[in-house]
Structure 1
Amino acid sequence: MILKVFKEKSIKKRINKLLSERKVASENHVAKTFGVLVNIDEFDNVALFDKLAKEAGVQPNNFRIIAFTEQKKDDLNVFDNCCSAEDFNRNGQVKDAELKGFLDTDFDVLISYYMEDILELKLLTVLSKAKFKIGILQSDERLNDLIIKTKLKEFSVFKTELFKYLRILNKIK
């Protein structure tokens, strides 16, 4: 119990530090790479993101999804690229190599599709080297550059609004 509290405080401190140091890129070019962070416990239809990427004109090799779960990864057969709280040490450092690779990828757009207030998901959003971060309404508005206020189950509304704003910002054609 004490270690869990220490881990939470450590991660919160790291998130605040990284958010205070973040510099928002003001580049205005067409997005060619997309990354998605999704809480698979809240929203398990990840195939919708594949369709979204195709409609946005993103090539399959320039699109990656990482799903987060609070369950044990061994219990899930739903999705290959899955992470959990076990993939973080007590200081909030990422232990999983595949997850590190995702975070080190310079995505043009990162979509954070989750609503639950989970520290590890927030940390993943902050640690991502994405140039433009998009999310749905969350408790900490500093995480994303664009927030689209929808419910998780209203994916078609999210997609419509996402494409509208990406066109306005010249991120897609």
Structure 2
Amino acid sequence: MILRAFKENSNKKYLNNLLSKRKVDVMDGKIESLGIILNVDELADFDLFRAIASDLKVHPNNLKVIAFSSNEKDEFNSWDLCFNPKDFGWRGYIKNVELQAFLNTKFDALISYYTHENLELKLLTASSKAKFKIGNLQTDTRLNDLIIKTDIKEFEVFSGELLKYLMILNKIKNEQ
């Protein structure tokens, strides 16, 4: 129990260090690749994210979704990758090779779709090498470049607002 508290404090320090060093570099490029981090305990509908990728004109090969579950026994076959708290070590260390590969991918955009305050999800969002980070309102606003305040179950509202703001920011590819 004490070791778990020390590990959590170590990861919180690592997260704060990542966020304090973060430089926002919003480029004019269009979104061609998309990464999605979601909490499967809050929302478990993969097709919603395929639809949003289609609306953003992201090719299915350039879409990668990872899911988090606080329940370590759950197996989700429909996800590209599902992870749990056991995949994290001390000081932000990621034990899962596939999860580390996701974080090292330089997506044009990353959508962090979760609202529960979860240290592991925050670590993933902060550690991602994505160029533009989008998410729901969190207590720590340093995590995302674009924050859309919606209820987790109001996905249509989130999707509509996301498309509206990405058009304003000129991030969506034009029809060809």
TM range (shorter): over 0.9
User: Would you say the 8 A contact 2:15–2:92 is kept in 1?
Assistant: no
Distance (whole Å) between structure 1 residues aligned to residue 165 and residue 158 of structure 2: 11
Amino acid at match of 2:145: D
Unaligned 5+ residue runs, structure 1? Answer: none
Give aligned-pair identity as a percent: 52
CA distance in 1, matches of 2:4, 2:67: 22
For residues 3 and 103 of structure 1, the distance between their equivalents in structure 2, rounded to whole angstroms, comes to: 26
Question: How do 1:120-131 residues align onto structure 2 when only pairs under 5 Å count?
Answer: 120-131=120-131
After superposing on structure 2, the runs of 4+ consecutive aligned residues of structure 1 that deviate more than 3 Å are 77-80
RMSD: 1.0
Matches within 5 A, 1:3-22: 3-22=3-22
- How many pairs were matched up? 172
Give, as a single letter, the amino acid of the residue that structure 2 aligns with 1:164.
K
Match of 2:74 in 1: 75
Q: CA deviation at 1:78?
A: 4.8
Residue equivalent to 1:134: 134
Shift of residue 163, structure 1, vs aligned partner: 0.2
Q: Aligned letter for 1:76?
A: E
Post-superposition offset of 1:141: 0.6
Report if the CA contact (8 A) 1:32-1:108 is conserved: yes
Question: Aligned with 1:141: secondary structure?
Answer: coil
Cα pair 1:67 1:79 within 8 Å, conserved: no
CA-CA distance at 1:112 after TM superposition: 0.4
Per-residue deviation, 1:7: 1.0
The 8 Å contact of residues 3 and 90 in structure 1, kept in 2 or not, is answered as no
Q: Is the Cα contact below 8 Å between 1:33 and 1:109 reproduced in 2?
A: yes
2:167 aligns to what? 167
Q: Deviations over 1:97-120 (max 9, x none)?
A: 110110000001000000000000
Summarize the alignment of residues 55-134 of structure 1 with structure 2, pairs less than 5 Å apart: 55-72=55-72, 74-80=73-79, 81-134=81-134
1:44 aligns with 2:44: yes
Structure 2 match to 1:34: 34
Distance 1:138 1:46 in 2: 22
